[in-house]
Amino acid sequence: MELQSSELSLIIEKVLKEMSKKELKEEVSDGVFDTMEEAIEAAYEAQKKYSKYSIEQREKFIAAMRKAILDNAMSIATLCVNESGMGRIDHKYLKLKLTAEKTPGTEVLQTTAYTGDKGLTLVENGAFGVIGSITPSTNPAATVACNGIGMLAAGNTVVFSPHPGAFNSSLAMLRALNKAIREAGGPDNLLTSVKKPYLEGTNIMLKHDKIRMVVATGGPGIVKMVLSSGKKAIGAGAGNPPVVVDETADIKKAARDIIAGCTFDNNLPCIAEKEAIVVEAVYEELIKEMKNNRAVYELNDEEAEKVAKLVLLYSNENNPHCASANKKFVGKDAKYILQSIGKTNVDGIECLIYRAENDHPFVQEELMMPILPIVKAKNFEEALKLAIQDEHGNRHTAIMHSKNVDNLTRMAREIDTTIFVKNAPSYAGIGFGGEGHTTFTIAGPTGEGLTNAASFTRQRRCTMVESFRIV
């Protein structure tokens, strides 16, 4: 049987269409691979290509990333909350918007020049190569977006290992960013990861020769792991931020700011107010002002005991101070916590406050729930001493409400944290309603502080002798 020429051309057209579809499929990568080894290899090859792009082109890709974060902010915020079961959609949206708007790009990469009789020496910020970034469940998409911008601005490519509890939302952000980069003319696989979470993947990353820097954003366990990896490591670890209020504070404002900071994303941020320490003279007034806010509910002793039984896990039954947060309640709404102890009529409640002794686990543990224990101190001297104890040497974040410049200065110096916020909610310290850039990787343990593109670079020096001076 012979084919008519018209039939033949139809077949050829169909085959060509299929071929081009297949080629497209093969050419375009969303950055997500079956294995960690493949993800690392792809990011390594991509970095070789990326290193040939100009700073101006990097900025073009970053502009596209910022737009993609904003365009996808609501859907990814929703996905984060639905997947992880933690936090609030409205606040996750704000975090993503903040990330898009206030994460620095290449502008923070400053060159140093030395000139003199002997000529010119330049010190520039070079890329590390491929960075392994381990991200948390608490700010999953914001950390992928913020580290993605900073690490790419510095000329690196990135392999992400997201927390299993927020894996899909982290990958959704990664895919949206890769798509935006591709559409802006950039190479594939600047950001990569694996299809499914597996802990072994993180170990492979920590040992792999092609990973030149590792960055952990999470609790003490993973920070210790990256610091023991033998690679250049940045550790952004846990906090337990105290807020101190002295007798000179604007109490109405302090009450408002503390509740706003404590309830932000249901207290998930590592910078959020975790306990308040208030001088005796204004203790009752502050609690009264807080309770004027209808979203605040004060737990009595019996209720607090019931809540503690649910939200704390005790590793040693005989030691009431040996507790940790029960993950089932981390980042949950205050209403949910109240309903779990059998309370009804909880509509509109966003924060639970409790008059606590300083050794109460609500004070000592990083709960990451909208529960604010409030401790009474005799005076500022005692409040400062307790705040330093409660911060546990994390050197993370502390907050103070006061109009006494000497007290503010003394606490800022003595508590020695990476972030110290005066007379504002904690989130002002990451640029939300405060000056300065934002980040979701706050590196206290390794000292980079609020990371930005410059944190992800290596210093490189180039010397030219007896030339290139102009005087």
Segment contacting ligand NAD (CB under 6 A): 39-47, 106-114, 219-227, 255-263? 219-227
CA dist., res. 325 & res. 310, Å (int): 9
Interface with ligand NAD (CB under 6 A), residue total 26
Q: Which of 239, 261, 425, 429 binds ligand NAD (CB under 6 A)?
A: 239
- Taking CA atoms, 359 is separated from 22, 330, 397, in Å, by 63, 21, 20
Instruction: By CB under 6 A, tell whether 148 contacts ligand NAD.
Output: no
**Interface mask toward ligand NAD for 75-114; x: CB under 6 A:** ----------------------------------------
SS3 200: helix
DSSP-assigned letter for residue 4: P
Distance CA 150, CA 20 (A): 35
User: Of the two residues 187 and 239, which places its CB atom closer to ligand NAD in the complex?
Assistant: 239
Piece of the chain touching ligand NAD by CB under 6 A; list 101-109, 132-140, 314-322, 423-431: 132-140
Output the smallest distance, CB 211 to ligand NAD, in A.
14
Q: Which of residues 103, 202, 438, 452 is near ligand NAD by CB under 6 A?
A: 202
Q: Is 125 in the site for ligand NAD (CB under 6 A)?
A: no
Residue 161 binds to ligand NAD (criterion: CB under 6 A): yes
Eight-state DSSP code of residue 447 = S
Residue whose Cβ sits closest to ligand NAD: 218
- Which residues in the 429-448 window bind ligand NAD by CB under 6 A? 440-442
User: CB of 248: closest distance to ligand NAD in angstroms?
Assistant: 30
Note whether 367 binds ligand NAD by CB under 6 A. Answer: no
Q: Among candidates 110, 98, 204, 196, which has minimal Cα distance to 153?
A: 110
The yes or no reply on residue 270 touching ligand NAD (CB under 6 A) is yes
Q: How far apart are CA 153 and CA 456, in angstroms?
A: 9
What residue has token string 């609690």?
A: 287
199 binds ligand NAD (CB under 6 A): yes
Give yes or no for residue 274 binding ligand NAD (CB under 6 A). Answer: no
Q: Could you say whether residue 226 binds ligand NAD (CB under 6 A)?
A: no
Member of 366, 390, 391, 448 binding ligand NAD (CB under 6 A): 366
Q: How many helices (H) and strands (E) does the chain have?
A: 15, 20
Q: Using only the alpha carbons of the chain, give its radius of gyration.
A: 26
Comparing CB distances to ligand NAD, the nearer of 88 and 355 is 88
Polymer length of the chain: 471
Give the angle 89-92-93 at the CA atoms, nearest 5°: 85
- Alpha helices by DSSP H, listed for 322-460, are 334-340, 361-364, 380-391, 405-415
The minimum distance between CB 318 and ligand NAD, in angstroms, equals 26
Helices (H), 327-445: 334-340, 361-364, 380-391, 405-415
CB 177 to ligand NAD: min, Å: 18
Under the criterion CB under 6 A, does residue 217 sit at the interface with ligand NAD? Answer: yes
List the structure tokens of 37.
């080894």
Contact status, residue 253 vs residue 401, Cβ threshold 8 Å: yes
Look up residue 295 and give its DSSP letter.
T
Least Å distance between CB 31 and ligand NAD?
17
Q: Which positions touch ligand NAD (CB under 6 A)?
A: 134-139, 161-164, 199, 202, 217-219, 221-222, 236-239, 270, 366, 440-442
